[in-house]
Structure 1
Amino acid sequence: MTGRIASGFRRRSGNRRHHLRAGTVAAIAGLVACALPVPASGSTVPPASAAARPGPTSTVCPTKVTGKATCYTGQDSNGAYYAIAVPKTWNGSLVVHAHGGPDLGTGSDPDRSVDDLNRWAVMVDEGYAWAGSSYRRGGYGTRMAAADTEHLRRLFVTEFGKPRRTFVHGQSWGGDVAAKVVETYGAGKHGPYDGALLTSGVLGGGSRGYDYRVDLRVVYQYYCRNHPRPDEAQYPLWEGLRADSAMTATGLRARLQECTGYASEPKERTGAQQRNLDDILSVTKIPERTLESHLRFATFTFRDIVHIRLGGRNPFSNQGVRYSGSHDDRALNAGVERFSADPSAARDLSYDSDLTGEVTIPVLTMHAIDDPTAFVEHEAAYRAALQGAHRERNLVQTFTRESEHSELSDSEYADSISALDAWARTGKKPTAPAIAASCATFDRTYSTGCFYDPAFSPHAYASRVNPRPGGLRWPAMTATQEKSWSRIDGVGIAP
């Protein structure tokens, strides 16, 4: 299998040498063990014997890729399931995909990467090989997901040869993961990545990227008093949910409906429900259509971050935040629960997921202006990070007049990867208007529309999300702390 793929690629590559490296996934495991963080004890990484897992196995392609590529699946030495597709007419380059979420299952989901391949079939249609990891486990951990993404890239090189060019693409939380991949593994002048495409990215990082969900959690409880109820075991709201709670997403929806009637037609809501809903939405600036999904994150994902990844430590703060937009702001600010972050927890969450802007390769972003999940102001936060690192020359941002988060127009995705490829190949930085203009060419193939707004620029992140007074000045890690961060159980966001 690998010999045929490698020899075919050599023919297409002319005099370029792309010899298939000897070895199996075990060789990759040894390489990664030297370069990637050592997992914390108690993590879900398989034992050393897992390094003997076989390489990719040929499988039936998902529906949108059927007949267009040869598909493979497998499980790497860290336990992460993955899917790979090599187009029948391969342009010689690779897109490594970082998926969003995070999913909250305990282990790696074998179906996730296959579903992602079907969802991102546009990359295969454009001639790129595609590889996506399901990550070794569910739950939060940007560096863990970045390590698994890089691990899969190395596995691909071992099995199929070195691609002509390699791009990393991240969507949603995967945008944060992909950006972390670039900073951690691809920031060097001769790093393995030629460019990054970040779409609908959660680019504010964990230390402030979820502040609006922190605000939702406390504002919701102020008005609703049912999460938890007065007769239930109490816990600080920064936990999201107590560790031993049996609450389900269905149960949470029932409480949200009870308080706000959000799932009912306005005429069917009580006066109290409508007032609660109006106040919560106005204060938090969260769209009504995604209120439930944001509250789920502020409940179940916060529990994962606090109890499983940070050993019960609190990384969140709302001290000094003034909430406004309600029917009675004075009462709200006097009665809402307040808390301050544990500096070590805030530091560890920041180290895991915040972005430094230290990139030396082309980075292209695309974001819907009316994204109801990852607000477009995340892009302002990311630009500020690159400006702070004096790397803004490596960034082009594009914006569309869409109102979705999870999936934008295929014509725009095809246009974006083409523009990124041309930038990496020629060194000529594109402009947002030029990218918008070239989209029509791709829309003749995909007919999904081009909605770019080249003149748009997002306001500062703090214009949409209440800033935490005093900024984020957590104590920096010493070299010893950074080295031990992923080794000691309960310290950091363990792999």
Structure 2
Amino acid sequence: MTQRRTGETMHRLKTLGLTVSLALIAAPATAMAAEPAVTELGGTLANGATWAAEVPADWNGKLVLYSHGFRPGPDNPAWDQGFDSTAQALTDRGFAVASSSYASAGWALGTAVDDQLGTLAAFSAAAGEPDRTIAFGTSMGGLVSSLIAEVPNSGVDGVVSTCGLLGGGINLNNYQLDGIHALAELLLPGQELQLTGFRTGAEAGVTINALMGAVQQAQTTPEGRARLALAAAFMNTPTWFSGSTAPGHKDYAAQQVAQYNWLLQTIPFVVGSRSSIVNAADGDSGWNAGVDYRALLQDSAQRQQVEALYRSAGLDVRGDLRTLTTTADITPDTDALGWMDRTSTPHGNLQVPVLTMHTLADILAPVEYLEEYEETVREAGSNALLRQSYVERTGHCTFTDAERTAAVLAMDERLDTGRWANLAEPKQLDRRAESLGLGGADFIKYRPAEFVNDRTYTAGHGHGNGHGSGKGS
């Protein structure tokens, strides 16, 4: 906690079977005008999840219910320090902020929605029922918040989902599998390498070490760089890594260097984290049996780059695509697939307005996910409730306090007026953000490319909420 959140516990009370702590935090007299006092609340839910909240002295009756992202553990606090400065910006403007740890670290989707709604109930018991609640999530928490938006009569009035895994957990497993399948088959041919079903970090570590060595070696030759670009396309790897502007539209070499740098960061995290999802679902939902990798590349926004690099290297991309298709034989654990569909997959049935916010180059939550989410919502007939916004920046969840606060204020006005009008337009969001005195903003008009990894598994009882041309069976 920051200094403004220190203080003695003044009261303890039990409400609805929940242990709740309350402390009045008084700011120093010299800072009172700029930093009003806040009341700190907290407690433990019945399943062991902890929760924390801050209520400003001039509370406007509105609550921001914050859902944090993936945490490998073992530390799993209720309050997320990464959201601390934004929480201060919100409490300074009269909003209360509450969050929970979820009942477990890692892939917590089995309980996370209930944990957040339990936090809302605990907060209401301790501080009084909010006049309005806006759920706000980042990364995995963005997925949690989007799932809350589908719960009827949840007590949440609107949702802001930022850098969210909005393609859902099934698609998450599959797009990552498509990328590492290509790396393994093209860079380590004939080598038996585990790609799914990791239960421990040690199992994942063997695969990580093999892939990292192969990727670094491949970058030293034109042939290897072409194959890295192909694998990167299947993993929705951005072609912009750093700097204020992206490489030129046809600067394929610079785009590939960006993808290489992203892969070095991505492989250890996504392969290393997969065991958390596998253990939560008690099986791996990922599969590629029946996937036509030629069709995936055909629909990819990076197809021209891949084909150009293959031509320069003197390689036949069609041959490599045939190899990937004929060796794709991984099937899912169908019970795990069903669990992921129930707990970790948006179905688009929105009950309340949702505003999404995403950077253009996000390796852990590809911006293409937003195309998939919009399609899911539209097919469910809820598209009037959805608006999407984009920030011209690289990185996962690299938003400014101004951008985050502006998104909350835009949703607050949407709930006041009952209509979107121009509230989610980039110029309007920019103006609102830059008027707050919290730093800059870089909202931009943007439309993401097709997410090509969605597919339906027909041999089992689960499904991948697939759309489009049906690239898997």
Output the TM-score relative to the length of structure 2.
0.74
* Cα deviation, residue 345, structure 1: 2.6
Taking the aligned partners of 1:115 and 1:60, their CA distance within structure 2 comes to 23
Q: Alignment partner for residue 258 of structure 1, among 197, 210, 213?
A: 213
Alignment size in residue pairs: 405
Q: Does structure 1 residue 362 correspond to structure 2 residue 330?
A: no
Q: Does structure 1 residue 346 correspond to structure 2 residue 332?
A: no
1:492 paired residue number: none
Identity of aligned residues (%): 22
Taking the aligned partners of 1:272 and 1:71, their CA distance within structure 2 comes to 58
Q: Which amino acid aligns with 2:202?
A: A
Matches within 5 A, 1:118-133: 118=85, 120-133=87-100
Q: Alignment partner for residue 334 of structure 1, among 317, 323, 329?
A: 323
Task: Describe the shift of the 1:220–1:408 C-alpha distance in structure 2 as closer, same or farther (beyond 3 A).
Answer: same
Task: State the Cα RMSD in Å.
Answer: 3.5
* Cα deviation, residue 437, structure 1: 2.2
Q: Contact 2:184–2:211 (CA<8 Å) still a contact in 1?
A: no
Q: Alignment partner for residue 302 of structure 1, among 274, 277, 302?
A: 274
The worse-fitting range, judged by mean Cα deviation, of 385-394 and 114-123 is 114-123
2:170 paired residue number: 207
Matches within 5 A, 1:279-428: 279-287=230-238, 288=259, 289-306=261-278, 308-323=279-294, 324=297, 325=306, 327-329=315-317, 330-331=319-320, 333-334=322-323, 336-428=327-419
1:480 paired residue number: none
| CA deviation vs aligned residue, 1:330-389 (integer Å, no higher than 9, x gap) | 245426452122333322211111112222222111222333331222222222222222
Taking the aligned partners of 2:99 and 2:216, their CA distance within structure 1 comes to 39
Task: Describe the shift of the 1:358–1:384 C-alpha distance in structure 2 as closer, same or farther (beyond 3 A).
Answer: same
* Cα deviation, residue 303, structure 1: 2.0
Q: Alignment partner for residue 61 of structure 2, among 89, 92, 95?
A: 92
Q: Does structure 1 residue 152 correspond to structure 2 residue 119?
A: yes
Q: Does structure 1 residue 104 correspond to structure 2 residue 72?
A: yes
1:196 paired residue number: 159
* Cα deviation, residue 119, structure 1: 5.4
Between Structure 1 and Structure 2, which shows a larger proportion of strand residues?
2
Q: Alignment partner for residue 196 of structure 2, among 218, 225, 238?
A: 238
Q: Which amino acid aligns with 2:447?
A: S
Q: Contact 2:406–2:429 (CA<8 Å) still a contact in 1?
A: yes
| CA deviation vs aligned residue, 1:442-478 (integer Å, no higher than 9, x gap) | 4133353232224x3333xxx343343x56796379x
Q: Contact 1:401–1:452 (CA<8 Å) still a contact in 2?
A: yes
Taking the aligned partners of 1:391 and 1:473, their CA distance within structure 2 comes to 29
Matches within 5 A, 1:47-126: 53-56=19-22, 69-101=38-70, 103-105=71-73, 109-110=76-77, 113-118=80-85, 120-126=87-93
Q: Contact 2:369–2:451 (CA<8 Å) still a contact in 1?
A: no
* Cα deviation, residue 196, structure 1: 0.7
Taking the aligned partners of 1:370 and 1:150, their CA distance within structure 2 comes to 31
Taking the aligned partners of 1:182 and 1:176, their CA distance within structure 2 comes to 10
Taking the aligned partners of 1:389 and 1:464, their CA distance within structure 2 comes to 18
| CA deviation vs aligned residue, 1:112-147 (integer Å, no higher than 9, x gap) | 534433454332233211111121111224241111
Question: The residue matched to 1:97 in structure 2 has which SS?
Answer: strand
The worse-fitting range, judged by mean Cα deviation, of 112-121 and 367-376 is 112-121
Q: Does structure 1 residue 171 correspond to structure 2 residue 105?
A: no
Taking the aligned partners of 1:105 and 1:24, their CA distance within structure 2 comes to 29
Taking the aligned partners of 1:392 and 1:362, their CA distance within structure 2 comes to 9
Output the TM-score relative to the length of structure 1.
0.71
Taking the aligned partners of 2:452 and 2:106, their CA distance within structure 1 comes to 24
Q: Which amino acid aligns with 1:153?
A: L
1:475 paired residue number: 461
* Cα deviation, residue 195, structure 1: 0.7
Q: Which amino acid aligns with 2:60?
A: N
2:452 paired residue number: 465
Taking the aligned partners of 2:343 and 2:194, their CA distance within structure 1 comes to 23
